[in-house]
Amino acid sequence: MKQQDPSSPSASGKPRWLYQAQDASGQPTEGFVHATTAEEALQAVNALQPPLSQVRLHSSGLYARAMTEMTDEVLGPLDVKALRQLARDQIEAQENPGVWTLLRQLLRNNRTWLLVCAALLALAVWREWSVWVQGMVVVAMLVPFAWFAYMHRFQRMYQQALLAHATGDLPRLQVLAERLADAAERHSFMREPAWDAAVRMAWFEARTEGVEAAILRLRVHPMRPPDDTDFLARTYTLPLAAGDHAGFTARLRELIALRPAEPILQLDLALGEARAGHADEAQRLLDATKTELLPPHGQAFIDWVRGLIALRDPALASEAARHLGQACAQFLTLVPKAPGAWPSLAVCTCDYALALAWSGRPEAAREAFAGVYPVSRHHAEPERLAMLERELRMRG
């Protein structure tokens, strides 16, 4: 009998948090802990024996429960050994995304089954068993590959939805969102991707029809989460589509009041306050953020906030360009792994281009802006885009 993970969701009611660290011998290691908040997750990792160092959480409180439920739906109950292998696979997929990584994991995780089937097939050929028996063995050998192809189809569909959202291809996004919703009707593990696609559709509706109209449609969407806090956690950014900073910060502060232990929300609020020109409040929020609780991409947002704070003073444009350039470089490494980061890269690059222009480097600013314009025109604030284009025209 498999040894059940003692802190499985069925026992603890808490989601899994993926972590990466170094063991006592300096070798990389990874695993899961069950926790409600990032701080609780870090404490759980630090309590492990033997102790680990250089701990990095790879989960966020906004998605940990949904990802746990989705994984459990697909894979079923997992013992400690299987959870450890799942952690290795997820870290590997983050560091080397792509179909070849997934195929390598498929072969590794099903090697016993494949070897047994290969041995049976060789025996069937040697003993001249009937073609029907040989065919059944071949079919059994292909079962893991068929399951992989079936599941990978959903993953590709979701990745395509992320790219359609980034590039503003609304007709394509609508088709993909409908397909994801249909898949979610058949498979409950597809509810989270289908809901995310619906929220991304609402971004463009908020941009053209208003925030309240977009949120009203989402409230009656069949994939919406039943919990109002979860609903707010996925929709608080929609006011930004209409350039409504006050609405964004108001909804985000309401969410933080409900989830005060989520550091990524505090960092997002710091970014919103910096973008609204409230440099002192942004700096206060940034100083209060526990950076050790952030996922790996959190540093990009820290540099982004620092750059926007410096950008409030034209005399600090060079400093702003340095911070924003660092943020853009980190987003550039993230987008091949996570296409959903494209809008962040594009908007951050607009800020970077503005800092370059103000620091006397208009050609570099034009080059940076041109590289992200197909995305930024759908996600950056119209006022910011107009300001940047005006600055570039003025500087020849």
Q: Is 201 helix (H, G, I), strand (E, B) or coil?
A: helix
- pLDDT at position 12 is 60
Taking the CA atoms of residue 269, residue 273, residue 276 and residue 278 in that order, the dihedral angle to the nearest 10 degrees is 170
- pLDDT at position 172 is 97
If 0-12 CB within 10 Å is exposed, 13-18 middle and 19+ buried, where does residue 128 land? exposed
Beta carbons of 345 and 359 less than 8 angstroms apart: no
- pLDDT at position 109 is 87
If 0-12 CB within 10 Å is exposed, 13-18 middle and 19+ buried, where does residue 353 land? buried
DSSP labels, 130-186: -HHHHHHHHHHHHHHHHHHHHHHHHHHHHHHHHHHHHHT-HHHHHHHHHHHHHHHHH
Q: Structure pTM?
A: 0.86
> What is the chain's pLDDT, residue by residue, as a tens digit (396 residues)?
333 343 444 446 788 999 999 998 889 999 999 998 989 999 999 998 889 999 999 888 777 888 888 888 887 787 888 888 888 888 888 888 788 888 888 898 899 999 999 999 999 899 888 999 999 999 999 999 999 898 889 999 999 999 999 999 999 999 999 999 999 999 988 999 999 999 999 999 999 999 999 999 999 999 999 999 999 999 999 999 988 889 999 999 999 999 988 899 999 999 999 999 899 999 999 999 998 999 888 999 999 999 999 999 889 999 999 999 999 999 999 998 888 899 999 999 999 999 999 999 999 999 999 999 999 999 998 888 999 999 888 876
- pLDDT at position 146 is 93
Rounded Cα distance between 199 and 343, Å, is 14
- CB within 8 Å of 23: residues ≥ 6 apart: 29, 50, 52
- pLDDT at position 93 is 84
- pLDDT at position 8 is 46
Rounded Cα distance between 79 and 43, Å, is 22
Rounded Cα distance between 308 and 221, Å, is 36
- pLDDT at position 278 is 93
